[in-house]
Structure 1
Amino acid sequence: MSFQGFLSLQSMSATCGFLFFAFTLLFSFFSFLVFVSRMKPWCNCDVCKSYLTVSWLNKFPNLCDWYTHLLRKSPTGTIHVHVLENTITSNPVNVEYILKTNFQNYPKGKPFSVILGDLLGRGIFNVDGESWKLQRKMASLELGSVAIRTNAMELVNEEIHARLIPFIMGSVTHDELNDSVCVLDLQDILRRFSFDNICKFSFGLDPGCLLPNLPVSNLADAFDLASKLSAERAMNASPFIWKLKRLLNVGSERKLREAINVVNDVANEMIKQRIEMGFNTRNDLLSRFTGSINDDVYLRDIVVSFLLAGRDTIASGLTGFFMLLSKSPEVEELIREEAGRVVGPGQEFPSFEQIREMHYLNAAIHESMRLFPPIQFDSKFATEDDVLPDGTFVRKGSRVTYHPYAMGRMENIWGPDCLEFRPERWLRDGVFVPACPFKYPVFQAGVRVCLGKDLALMEMKSVVLALVRRFDIRVVQSGQEPRFEPGLTATLRGGLPVRVRVCERK
């Protein structure tokens, strides 16, 4: 090649490099303009300004409390956060319309699927249409089977009596007054308990998170981080922010990718182990789903979704329950009295039938989730322009959110004592009476109502009975307002430090 030819190639290379740089710069500038236009910074309404400047933190400890305040002030129980293109409602009539009457217009939607797609993939909580119908049909058949329900109860009782109770008993020391007492983070203990249980139920394998030395679980830690960072994506004023960070593999998106890689590696290894162990006479969900699905990635997505549902929601619901029970010793005593009457002092394992007879316990757990639902809000995306029953216009492609946390704090739904923890509101002549699911959408409602509701309630009741009959549990600093971490489920920032004393009654 001649010297002139070499220089010509060099010149062409430099020109291409300049053009590529210019294109990248123009594309970035255009993307920034799109981002700015989506943020609508010219919107001067108080709600948008407060959200963008985070000034709501001056008065409210959590975003959900600020939304509750705004929804209380709204005549229709519905607000619109323009910068998020999000219509938020606490109106039960709207909730029924979204979840049942016009269900087809309010799927999870592609924006939601993209936000959680890296973590949940094609799992049941992240899909619509035929994929959702197939998984729901399969899950309904499996979760409704006697074998699965029996296995679930056996696993829960085993984890309670082999690990949960012995761990708390083993943590108890004696203070100067010779009282049996210990201080521990109950939220952490409950998360470990529920993670062990759901892994055994889903995979047939035991991570051992609640062993006496409280081992670190790479899967549990990575799952926590991935859930937290995935939820933070939805809080951005524009998806461009997190998508650009993902493209560049920087900041929170780099941490999310690393955490999801850990989840994938461990989940895939669990699937591999279960396949090598064989599936004959196995009652875990992985064994039963494998008979119908040959795609390992799809299996991973389904099982990770069950981990999210069975671990985080159970632990969150129980944490809220014991936080409220700590300030309500009269409720605690009524639960003990009912347990003594139905179960008796010498019986370790209450039967499924006995648990169903405990109406006050059932009322107390439902009441606690009214005030502290494990999933504080849920969003859909409108496929077409629509008008909600309260007259709110919903634009095609925009986000629509119903807010169980706020709904549990509305006087027009629950009465002037809506902020009180009062299980009696669920009882008629001593018998539990469920509320309308559209004013209490803790387990969703309508077409997508939670299939694991009965199993979740059974697990929560079993844990409550085991602990309340043996221990007095009191929050160490009960006067502080709870603060929540960003996440897919309600998680207390800093955990739930409690003082535990052995109770002589059983």
Structure 2
Amino acid sequence: MELLQIAYFLLFLATLTWLLSTTFSSSSTSKKAPPNTNVPKVYPIIGSIFSIAANKHRRIHWISDILLSSPSSSTFTLRRSLGSRQIFTADPAVVHHILKSNFPTYHKGPTLHRALGDFLGDGIFNSDGSNWKFQRQLSSHEFNTRSLRNFVETVVDAELSNRLIPILSQRCETAITATCSCDLQDILQRFAFDNICKIAFGYDPQYLLPSLPTTTFAKAFDDATRISSERFNCAVPLVWKIKKILNIGSEKRLRTAVSEVRVLAKKIVDEKKRELEEKKTLQSVDLLSRFLVSGQNDESFVTDIVISFILAGRDTTSAALTWFFSLLANHPRVEEEVVGEVNQKNHADGSSVYDELKDMVYTHAALCESMRLYPPVPVDTKEAANDDVLPDGTFVKKGTRVAYHIFAMGRSEKIWGPDWAEFRPERWLRRDGEGKWAFVGVDPYSYTVFQAGPRVCLGKEMAFLQMKRIVAGILKEFRVVPAVAEGVVPEYTGYLTSLMKDHLCKGKTFMLRVGFEPTPFRTRTLIWRLRPTRPSQRFDVNP
């Protein structure tokens, strides 16, 4: 072990010496700064490695700044080390090109697969070609109207009525005599995790319980997500590859985390196999059953599928709802509209929960508006299989990564107009002939929250149904109010999916203090306490 540490230290010294010598020898090039001061300086061999490292903690906002500050182009080429390049765009025409017009050229690619492979394996979000088509074709059966109706009227309703609302109510009752805190983002993740496991695998992990149990799986899943994302965005990929060979640092933690995640995923697969063996016919066929009865016997591959769907179902909807409740509390007019719509839908006409949710037009628009500003997935990346030229004239060499920046696109004045910073659900609505709100969609290549083209998100409608049901369930009984220190703005960050930054190493920051207080809308108030380590002065939304 000592020899390995010495070897790693010598490698570090050699790399540092090389970087410094290259920087000084290239000092003359730094005088030729581009007109746009947001664009990072480029040095021979090492590219923009210093800017990449300096902005590691705010990578999403940094690239967004560059894309949105250019008066002429919404496409930018980032020069990485050793001649590697990555193209970022916030141009809908370019997005249409890579997601639809020239779809065969742009795939996930080997770079992404190497970085995320230890965690996601060959799951649907990390695969291309026939492997991707097979998984998508089988998965599509789970998103028909019958499955969606069953999902919201049984799985979501049961989790809401039997777990989420009782937990929040219990804390309200406790708070009459004492202050009780909990992490709302964590609760929403638990809710979403139970839901995706039930509907996709027929398995109840019982993660959302009154005790809010701490599990090794949850921490391991978060660690695997974060480290895999850091791998993909690493300024010098050679660093993580060497650490993997030596099994040290973050790579050692990743190996441990992935092992923990696969223990649960394998348990889910094994239980489903036993269920299929014991019963000749199943009362309901879930996603995992479909894959197993399709003749797919590779246990590692099926485990990859389970992990991918947990990632999609657990983190995306919970992130979207966290930001939604935060925005709603700061915009009383929108809150009143949403609550009014929620209170109207109460089985008054004998309609089902599913039909009521489909008819919650204003809430749907408010969720779309929230995800425009705070998308659950901030950036999506493809890799060019062949040389290509983008609609704006940018040349793309084979093997180049091309990323459409969803976060930047949601804040683009070119797309949304001068009021882009306003949280205004009405931009998605119009009045019909009877004066009622009617939803008006936008170009999917301008609003890329759910991707577009052949790889458009299969779970889009399921996600909206789940989110609207949670919103309705909570707002019928509670008013969610963030108690935020003056001048503090919630901080958006992201790995494979987005988060409201919680500084896990220093304690929770997005806290929910539950108290009893009559309100014009409901009978109880949930007071949401936000305590970031440091205030974020930028990227806030106008009140």
TM-score, normalised by the number of residues in structure 1:
0.87
Name the amino acid aligned to 2:452.
A
Between structure 1 and structure 2, the one with the greater Rg is: 1
How far apart are 1:98 and its partner, in Å?
Answer: 0.7
Provide the identity percentage. Answer: 41
- CA distance in structure 1 between the aligned counterparts of 2:203 and 2:347, rounded to whole angstroms: 33
Matched ranges for 1:11-50 at <5 A = 44=30, 47-49=39-41
2:457 equivalent in structure 1? 450
- Tell me: CA distance 1:363–1:121, structure 2 relative to 1, closer, same or farther (3 Å): same
Asked if 2 retains the 8 angstrom alpha-carbon contact of 1:61 and 1:483, the reply is no
Residue identity in the other structure for 1:431: A
Q: Deviations over 1:6-53 (max 9, x none)?
A: xxxxxxxxxxxxxxx9xx99xx79x969x979x999574663449644
User: Is the 1:109–1:128 contact (alpha carbons within 8 Å) kept by the matching residues of 2?
Assistant: yes
1:380-419 matches, cutoff 5 A: 380-419=382-421
Question: Which whole-Å CA distance do the structure 2 matches of 1:366 and 1:330 have between them?
Answer: 17
What does 1:217-228 align with in structure 2 at a 5 Å threshold? 217-228=215-226
Root-mean-square deviation over aligned CA pairs: 3.1
Between 1:410-419 and 1:336-345, the stretch displaced more is 336-345
Question: 2:398 aligns to what SS in structure 1?
Answer: coil
Residue type of the alignment partner of 1:467? I
User: Alignment partner of 2:266: what SS?
Assistant: helix
| TM superposition shift of 1:143 | 2.2
Q: Is the 8 A contact 2:450 2:460 kept in 1?
A: yes
Amino acid paired to 1:421:
F
Partner deviation per Cα, 1:389-448 (whole Å, 9 max, x = no partner): 111122221110101111110111001110111000000111011111000000000110
Confirm or deny that 1:438 pairs with 2:445.
yes
For residues 87-112 of structure 1, the C-alpha deviation after alignment (integer angstroms, 9 at most, x for no partner) is: 10001111101100011111111101
Please identify runs of 4+ aligned residues in structure 1 that moved more than 6 A.
55-58, 178-181
> Whole-Å Cα distance in 1 between the matches of residues 316 and 357 of structure 2?
20
Cα drift, residue 57 of structure 1: 6.8
Task: Report which stretch shifted further, 495-504 or 468-477.
Answer: 495-504
State the 1:148 CA deviation.
5.7
Instruction: Please state how far the C-alpha of 1:69 moved relative to its aligned partner.
Output: 1.5
Counterpart of 2:76 in structure 1: which amino acid? I
SS of the residue aligned with 1:282? coil
- My pick for the range that moved more, 388-397 or 449-458, is 388-397
- SS of the aligned residue for 2:484 comes to coil
- 1:181 Cα shift? 7.6
**1:147 offset after TM fit, Å?**
3.7
Q: How many residues align?
A: 476
From 72, 77, 87, the equivalent of 1:80 is: 77
Give the superposition deviation at 1:152.
Answer: 4.9
Partner secondary structure for residue 61 of structure 2: helix
Query: Relative contact order (C-alpha < 8 Å, sep 6+): which is higher?
Result: 1
Name the amino acid aligned to 2:456: V
Question: What is the one-letter code of the residue matched to 1:261?
Answer: S
Would you say the 8 A contact 1:286–1:303 is kept in 2?
A: yes
Of residues 294, 319, 324, the one that matches 1:321 is 324
Distance 2:349 2:208 in 1: 26
Q: Alpha-carbon deviation of 1:323?
A: 1.4
The counterpart of 2:366, out of the listed 364, 378, 383, is: 364
List gaps (5 residues or longer) in structure 2.
43-47, 432-436, 503-508, 523-543
**Cα distance in structure 2, aligned partners of 1:346 and 1:212:** 34
Please tell me whether the aligned partners of residues 152 and 465 of structure 2 are also in contact (alpha carbons under 8 angstroms): no
The 3-state SS of whatever aligns with 2:88 is strand
Q: Cα 1:263–1:445, aligned 2, differ >3 Å: closer, same or farther?
A: same
Query: Does 2:91 match 1:91?
Result: yes
Instruction: Say whether 1:476 aligns with 2:483.
Output: yes
Deviation at 1:140, TM superposition (A): 1.1
Task: Report Cα offsets for 1:170-199 as digits up to 9, x if no partner.
Answer: 112577xx6998543211111111111112
Q: How does 1:88-487 map to 2 (within 5 A)?
A: 88-144=88-144, 146-147=146-147, 149-173=149-173, 183-278=181-276, 280-292=282-294, 293-343=296-346, 351-429=353-431, 430-477=437-484, 479-487=487-495
Structure 1 residues 40 and 154 mapped into 2: Cα distance closer, same or farther (>3 Å)?
farther
Structure 2-normalised TM-score?
0.81
Alpha-carbon deviation of 1:340?
2.1
| 1:62 match: secondary structure | helix
